[in-house]
Amino acid sequence: MTTRPYIVGNWKMHGTRAMLAEARAIDRAAERLLKVEVAIAPPFTLIHATRKEATLIAIGAQDCHPAEGGAHTGDVSAAMIKDAGAGFTIVGHSERRADHGESNALVKSKAHAVIDAGMNVIVCVGEIEAERDAGKAESVVTRQLKGSLPEGEDVAVNVTVAYEPVWAIGTGRTPTPDDVAAMHRHIRGVLNKFYGDAGAEVRILYGGSVKPENAAELLCADEVGGALVGGASLTAESFLGIIMAAAEGERD
Ligand code: PGA
């Protein structure tokens, strides 16, 4: 198991071929920052081109359909994503859950499709602000994990969890490092029950307004194995600031 911090850029619905220059710059710099595992999830349309442009970093997708193929106009299967050159797929992002009404059960079936296609999966969970204010953040996240994670001890090695409090995404607000650590320890406990011994191997990323300025303190919180980065992953300059903060934390 790798213990390198895992920094994943989620480009969301941003990016035309003009953005390939950013991917190339990130890839070149990653060559010098081998203490960090770097990945980008561009939109479907750029997966193949980004894979060709960036040879060192991992390339992934932001979603997939749970079926292998068939009459699903506009959808993309995990096997197609793999064929385009991706090595992982994100599932259950809160924007998918909210914009497309995705249930935990659907997210679980997508996670299995990703693994069956031979890729790794990043499963996203996180509470909304009202749930945190009501003291329900941990129970909400527990329910999402149990309902969304792919099953079987043997698949744990292919799973990463991203904890992304919905109220922190794109808002510039973040939980305190102590709150992040508390939630990540809670998630570790759930993973240990869900996967047995293999639960210890699952990396837990923090996501939500991670920037070069706050990355160091968030990344050194207990049980934080990396970051899922939205807005700050869209330019090589800001994404590399986060990657460098992760590399600094690995010194000695
Ligand atoms: P943000 O997004 O970094 O722009 O807050 C994170 C995410 O949604 O993955």
Domains in the chain, ordered, with CATH? 6-18+28-226 (3.20.20.70)
At residue 23, the pLDDT reads 97
93: annotated active-site residue: yes
Question: Average pLDDT in the 77-96 region?
Answer: 98
pTM of the model: 0.97
Residue of 53, 164, 184, 223 with catalytic role: 164
| Angle (CA) 8 145 36, round 5° | 20
pLDDT > 70 in the chain, percent: 98
Q: Which entry of 93, 112, 184, 186 is annotated as an active-site residue?
A: 93
Ligand 1 mean position to 8 CA, how many Å?
10
C-alpha 166 – ligand 1 centre gap (Å): 9
Sorted by sequence, the CB contacts under 8 Å of residue 101 that are 6+ apart come out as: none
Q: Which atom of ligand 1 is nearest to the CA of 228?
A: 9
Ligand 1, CB within 6 Å, residue ranges: 10, 164, 169-170, 207-210, 228-232
Task: Encode pLDDT of 147-167 as tens digits.
Answer: 999 999 999 999 999 999 999
pLDDT at residue 62 greater than cutoff 50: yes
CA-170 nearest atom, ligand 1: 5
The question of whether 164 is a catalytic residue gets the answer: yes
Q: What is the pLDDT of residue 31?
A: 87
The Å distance, Cα 54 to ligand 1 centre, comes to 22
